[in-house]
Each structure stands twice: as structure tokens, then as C-alpha cells.
């Protein structure tokens, strides 16, 4: 049995839940309330020295970093697949995923927003910071997704790109980012999000959701 250490509203944990539910892999969850700094407790740092979620505990060992977990899930549970059949298409899917996982999400996660506030940024400044990086990434993704023809981020099949896009759109909506300039990206996220596997992974449907 796999155990996912996460938090209902963490975008990176949400990516992993999406892949687990898409593949139909059973798992249990342990929650770490980020607002109460439970991810910085010594007991968790032994599992994840970065003090970040998610961590996946497997029979072979624990894995940190959502991109590494997604690749491990794909290797370990190859069907249904979250990667296309050719190397160039796999690279394009991974590039979409990395655009989100490297160049959008890390710039507006909790620790960075806390650091900005400590530098004297008010809430308007923090909101502008969040929107700036989400919009920059979405502007680049919009034509890439459009080029694939939908309905999902990389065309007809669900991929790792959707596992990263759905949580990023969730965050964008939560932070009030204007989505009007990204109609194709929004439609792709909505198409994937409507699936039963994606609904099961939604933050609001997790046992630790508090609203």
C-alpha cells in the first residue's frame, strides 16, 4: 500500500493524487497542515528533509518531489499511461509539466509568499507577484495546448501535463487571477477536471479539507 503525505490544498500533492486516481492505484493519506507548519515538524523532516509536501511512502522507500513521484508512478503502474508513445511527445508533455512545476508553482507557494510579506510587500503586492508568474507561464502554455487540438492539455489523451495543469488552474482561480486570456488552457483544465478520477483528487474532496 502507498501512503501519500500531503495537504488538501497543496498544488504539488494534488498532482500526485490526480495520477494515483487516474491509474486507479490504492493509497492512504497522511495530512500535514501547512498553515500550522506541521510540515516543518522533526517527525516529518526525517521523511522529507526539505519540509515540503508531498512525500510518497512506497514499499521500496520514500520519494519526495512531485515530478519524481509522477515518473515513478508512471514506471511502476504503466497502465493507463500518462505519457505518450514517442520520445519527442514525451519530451513535450514533460516540458509542459516542468513549465508549471518549475516556473510557475514554486514562485507562489506558501514559503515564497511568506518571504515576500517579510520583505514588506502588502497583499496587493503579493497578489500582483502571484498573477505575474501564473500569467507568464499560462501565456506560454496557451499556444502549446492549442497546437494539440484538445480536449486535454496534450490532445486526446490525459498526460502528466494535465496532472500539473489542473492544480495550477485551481490555484489561479483561488488567487483570483484573470483567466480570460487563456481560453484554450482553461477548457483543457475543465475537460480533465470533469472526469471522475479528477473529482476524486480535488482538494475539496479530501478528508483533511476544512471548508
Per CB under 8 A, the segment of 3-11, 18-26, 67-75, 184-192 that binds a second copy is: 67-75
18 grid coordinates:
490526480
**Would you give the binding string for a second copy spanning residues 47-66, x where CB under 8 A is met?**
--xxxx-----x-xx-xxxx
The pairing of strands 27-31 and 2-6 is parallel
DSSP conformation letters of 32-79: --GGGTGGGSHHHHTT-TT--S-EEEETTEEEESHHHHHHHHHHHS-S
Calculate ∠ Cα 206-76-88, nearest 5°: 100
Q: Is 88 an interacting residue with respect to a second copy (CB under 8 A)?
A: yes
39 grid coordinates:
510540515
Helix spans in 105-210 (H): 110-118, 123-148, 160-174, 183-193, 196-201
Q: Is 199 an interacting residue with respect to a second copy (CB under 8 A)?
A: no
Helix (H) or strand (E) holding 14: helix 11-23
Among positions 30, 47, 57, 98, the unique one binding a second copy when judged by CB under 8 A:
98
**Would you give the binding string for a second copy spanning residues 119-148, x where CB under 8 A is met?**
xxx---x---x--x---xx-xxx-xx----
Q: Which is nearer to a second copy, 129 or 197 (CB)?
A: 129
Among positions 10, 99, 168, 171, the unique one binding a second copy when judged by CB under 8 A:
99
Q: Restricting to residues 21-40, which ones interact with a second copy according to CB under 8 A?
A: none
Closest C-alpha among 57, 65, 72, 60 to residue 19: 72
Contact positions vs a second copy (CB under 8 A)? 49-52, 58, 60-61, 63-69, 71-72, 75-76, 86-88, 90-92, 94-95, 97-99, 101-103, 105-107, 111-112, 115, 119-121, 125, 129, 132, 136-137, 139-141, 143-144
Amino acid at each position: 500500500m502507498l501512503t501519500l503525505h500531503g495537504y488538501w490544498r497543496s498544488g504539488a500533492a494534488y498532482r500526485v493524487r490526480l495520477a494515483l486516481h487516474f491509474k486507479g492505484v490504492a493509497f492512504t493519506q497522511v495530512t500535514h497542515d501547512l498553515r500550522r507548519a506541521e510540515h516543518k515538524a522533526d517527525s516529518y523532516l526525517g521523511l522529507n528533509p526539505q519540509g515540503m509536501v508531498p512525500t510518497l511512502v512506497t514499499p521500496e522507500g520514500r520519494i519526495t518531489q512531485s515530478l519524481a513521484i509522477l515518473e515513478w508512478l508512471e514506471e511502476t503502474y504503466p497502465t493507463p499511461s500518462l505519457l505518450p508513445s514517442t520520445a519527442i511527445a514525451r519530451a513535450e508533455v514533460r516540458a509542459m509539466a516542468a513549465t508549471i512545476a518549475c516556473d510557475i508553482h514554486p514562485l507562489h507557494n506558501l514559503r515564497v509568499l511568506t518571504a515576500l510579506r517579510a520583505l514588506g510587500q502588502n497583499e496587493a503586492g503579493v497578489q500582483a507577484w502571484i498573477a505575474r508568474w501564473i500569467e507568464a507561464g499560462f501565456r506560454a502554455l496557451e499556444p502549446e495546448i492549442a497546437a494539440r487540438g484538445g480536449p486535454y492539455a496534450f490532445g486526446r489523451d490525459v498526460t502528466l501535463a494535465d496532472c500539473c495543469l489542473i492544480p495550477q488552474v485551481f490555484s489561479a482561480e483561488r488567487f483570483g487571477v484573470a483567466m480570460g486570456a487563456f481560453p484554450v488552457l482553461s477548457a483543457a483544465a475543465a475537460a480533465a477536471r470533469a472526469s471522475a478520477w479528477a473529482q476524486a483528487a480535488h482538494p475539496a474532496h479530501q478528508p483533511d479539507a476544512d471548508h
